[in-house]
């Protein structure tokens, strides 16, 4: 994901975000982050707001997506996927998403072979972004990691019983060889799907 797309994914997942947080997320200076933000503002994708501060000091600026930015996130095929799933019975849905997970695993596993856990997580973020998820890796104190999807290419279909999500969670556990739990879910109204990853357990039964 390039840095401008990274900014869009961050704002979609977290809403209104300050310049310092954006710079830290990108790993650049505030001036460097500001250049990306100004370019996105010029394209009508990002707008700046002023937030008051508690106590003395100047108000701070925060950035958020504009309504036009919604077109940057895949959505039209979501409706088609939802309609197709609606025509399936429960056994058909289960078989469909199980087969989808097997195809993804065969592709992803070959690209992750021989990598460390952190490298596998970062590669998984890259691969799922290619599938439309707009993923980011979040480092947590203590050495664990979070994989956060700020967009889901089949969100409406996923919300119809969570069929793809259950297979996705099992897929990530197998690919990473780690303990993976989902702590937020777009289908429940959260702003992202977040997977908490630790190496404390090798496998989950």
Q: Is residue 3 scored above 70 in pLDDT? A: yes
Tokens of 182: 């989902």
Q: Is residue 7 scored above 80 in pLDDT? A: yes
Residue ranges of domains in the chain? 3-72, 76-198
The CATH superfamily of 76-198 is Trafficking protein particle complex subunit 3 (3.30.1380.20)
**Terminal Cα distance for the chain, rounded:** 33
Helices (H) and strands (E) in the chain, counts: 8, 7
Q: Which residue has the higher pLDDT, 63 or 4?
A: 63
121 Cβ partners below 8 Å, 6+ apart? 137, 145, 147, 176, 197
Distance CA 181, CA 178 (A): 10
Mean pLDDT of the chain: 81
Q: What is the tens place of the pLDDT at every residue in 154-183?
A: 777 777 777 778 889 999 999 999 999 999
Confidence band of 147 (pLDDT split at 50, 70, 90): very high
Tell how far CA 49 is from the center of its chain: 24
Query: pTM here?
Result: 0.61
Distance CA 118, CA 27 (A): 18
Q: State which CATH number among 3.40.50.170, 1.10.10.10, 1.20.1440.230, 1.20.1260.10 fits the domain covering 3-72.
A: 1.10.10.10
Q: What is the tens place of the pLDDT at every residue in 30-72?
A: 999 999 899 889 888 899 987 655 555 566 789 988 887 766 6
Q: Which residues pair with 46 in a beta bridge?
A: 65
- Number of neighbouring beta carbons within 10 Å of residue 141: 5
Domain 3-72 matches domain 76-198 at the CATH topology level: no
């Amino acid at each position: 994901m390039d840095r401008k797309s990274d900014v869009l994914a961050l704002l979609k997942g977290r809403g209104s975000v300050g310049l310092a947080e954006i710079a830290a997320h990108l790993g650049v200076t505030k001036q460097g982050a500001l250049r990306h933000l100004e370019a996105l503002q010029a394209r009508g994708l990002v707008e700046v707001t002023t937030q008051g501060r508690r106590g003395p000091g100047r108000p701070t600026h925060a950035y958020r997506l504009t309504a036009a930015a919604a077109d940057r996130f895949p959505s039209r095929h979501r409706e088609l996927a939802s309609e197709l799933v609606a025509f399936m019975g429960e056994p058909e849905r289960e078989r469909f998403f199980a087969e989808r997970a097997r195809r993804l695993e065969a592709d992803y596993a070959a690209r992750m072979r021989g990598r460390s856990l952190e490298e596998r997580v970062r590669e998984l973020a890259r691969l799922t972004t290619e599938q439309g998820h707009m993923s980011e890796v979040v480092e947590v104190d203590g050495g664990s990691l979070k994989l956060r999807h700020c967009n889901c290419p089949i969100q409406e279909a996923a919300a119809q019983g969570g069929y793809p999500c259950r297979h996705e969670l099992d897929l990530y556990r197998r690919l990473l060889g780690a303990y993976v739990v989902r702590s937020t879910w777009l289908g429940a109204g959260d702003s992202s799907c977040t997977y908490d990853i630790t190496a404390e357990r090798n496998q989950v039964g």
